[in-house]
Structure 1
């Protein structure tokens, strides 16, 4: 579910985090479209493991009942559904499947680096594969509208716990710096390059 769509219609759930209400609403929407239970809907979205799948929906249900806003939530889902149907049909599952093992190509990453300004601070960017794989996760979130936590770990490092931990840390750092671009000129220049690449990649996938 696009972030702006979730925030416009689910902002009344102020006692829940944006991440929680967006994930939970997506699960409820999938159940509406496909039928079955919430657990199956969460599995369809790739939300694992089971305690996480059930946790978001059960916690939201309890809060909706306690606050008397269950009807408001259903109306919000109606509005989100109507807005989604008015726009182009996007197969996000297809995008996730195509990008399941994808990473930003080294040549494209190097091209981006040549377009970035020099740093005036003592901090030097990492231009090796660690940073390339981390920004790949950011592009994945933009193409799939998925959450950072669900970005697939590159398959060639996924089996190694140590390498996976490094990737997770680098991914967290990159997302933090891309959110605070006012204080990070280097990442302020990198962000639109990543956004442009994500837009191009999404169009390419949708044509397949």
Structure 2
């Protein structure tokens, strides 16, 4: 992401802190504050809103703020202009003002930067993964048994990371995958989106719905541990 000189700004707010902003704007904020525009990508809008909120506090360019949020310089798009796609600029600005006001009134804000740092290059270790598997409902004998291999452990790790950091799963660390041979990495890449869809869709199959429930509980506990200063074990 090149530095856009025209986009460099001075900080305009100091009543909330940039670490309070998750890299992917919380869905509750998005639903309640940001305008619904069918032609605009919700993903792009949430990402842009998060970057802009950080920029209001830190100043600099939107690229600088994206880097602060851990959004990679390559492959990550967001609206850099004053107008955000088909969203009215004033309406978008007022929506961010509303979110900022909520941030200012939060008594116990989450430090998302601390969470991102704690889970940098993180994945579920084998012990934690086996404990998660034990909590799942046994598969009926007549069903084909689900896989619990390293590929599934990597997807589960990404799910936990996204829950804890409120970041986008596409930017999550994948140390288990990175440790594989190039051929295996390519093979995993072909099924990445499909498996993620199985795990996160509202009408997920029983195995994935059960796994998601256990992983969500694990993510809540992990987030609480990080917030109190306990660092997770590394893969």
TM-score higher than 0.5 here? yes
Within the candidate set 27, 43, 49, 1:19 is matched to: 43
For 1:128, the equivalent position in structure 2 comes to 149
Contact 2:199 / 2:209 at 8 angstroms: preserved in 1? Answer: yes
Greater per-residue helix proportion: 1
Is 1:190 aligned to residue 214 of structure 2? no
User: Does residue 164 of structure 1 match 2:185?
Assistant: yes
**Normalization by structure 2: what TM-score?**
0.77
Q: 1:63 aligned to 85, 89, 92, which one?
A: 85
Question: Which stretch of the first structure deviates more once superposed, 169-178 or 155-164?
Answer: 155-164
Deviation for aligned residue 1:174: 3.1
Which residue in 1 is equivalent to 2:164?
Answer: 143
For 2:11, the equivalent position in structure 1 comes to none
Count the aligned residue pairs: 203
- Name stretches of at least 5 consecutive residues in structure 1 with no aligned partner: none
Aligned-partner Cα distance in 2 for 1:194–1:178: 10
Gaps of 5+ in 2: 1-24, 230-235
Match of 2:115 among 95, 101, 104: 95
Tell which has more relative contact order, 1 or 2 (C-alpha 8 A, sep 6+). 2
Q: Structure 1's 4 and 110: CA in aligned 2 closer, same or farther, altered over 3 A? A: same
Q: CA deviation at 1:200?
A: 0.6
Match for residue 40 of structure 1 among 60, 64, 68: 64
